[in-house]
Amino acid sequence: MAIPDRFLLAAVMGSPVLHSRSPLLHNYWFAENGLAGAYVPLAIAPGQLGPALRSLHALKFSGCNLTIPHKQDALAIVDEVDDAARRIGAISCVAVRPDGSLAGFNNDCYGFMENVLEAQPDFRADAGPIVVAGAGGGARAVVWALAQRGAREIRLVNRTLARAEIIAREFGAPVQAYEWSQRHAALEGARMLVNTTSQGMVGMAPLDLALDRLPRSALVADIIYTPLETPLLRAARLRGNATLNGLGMLLHQGRPAWKAWFGLEPKVTPQLRATLEASLRGD
pLDDT tens digits, one per residue of 59-106: 999 999 999 889 999 999 999 999 999 999 999 999 999 999 999 999
**pLDDT band at 283; cut points 50, 70, 90:** low
Within this chain, domains 8-106+250-281 and 109-245 share the same CATH topology: yes
Provide the pLDDT for residue 265.
93
**In this prediction, what percent of the chain has a pLDDT beyond 70?**
98
Range 155-163, long-range pairs (CB < 8 A, 24+ positions)? 155/129, 155/130, 155/131, 155/186, 155/190, 156/132, 157/131, 157/132, 157/133, 157/182, 157/183, 157/186, 158/133, 158/134, 160/135, 163/135, 163/136
CA pair distance 201, 193, nearest whole angstrom: 17
Query: Rounded CA gap, 28 and 34, in Å?
Result: 10
Q: What is the pLDDT of residue 18?
A: 84
User: What band does 51 get if pLDDT is binned at 50, 70 and 90?
Assistant: very high
User: Quick one: what percent of the chain has pLDDT higher than 90?
Assistant: 91
| Active-site residue list | 71
- pLDDT higher than 50, residue 17: yes
Please tell me the CATH code under which domain 8-106+250-281 is placed: 3.40.50.10860
3-class DSSP state of 177: strand
Strand 219-222 relative to strand 242-244, pairing:
parallel
d(CA 52, CA 64): 10
Q: Which of 243, 248, 238 is nearest to 272 (CA)?
A: 248
Residue 1 has pLDDT above 50, yes or no: no
Type of residue numbered 51: P
The full set of domain ranges for the chain reads 8-106+250-281, 109-245
Task: Report the chain's C-alpha Rg in angstroms.
Answer: 19
Over residues 212-271, the pLDDT tens digits come to 999 999 999 999 999 999 999 999 999 999 999 999 999 999 999 999 999 999 999 999
Residue 4, pLDDT score: 59
* The model's pTM: 0.93
Q: What is the pLDDT of residue 255?
A: 97
Has domain 109-245 been given CATH number 3.40.50.720? yes
Distances (CA, A) of 219 to 210, 215, 244: 15, 9, 8
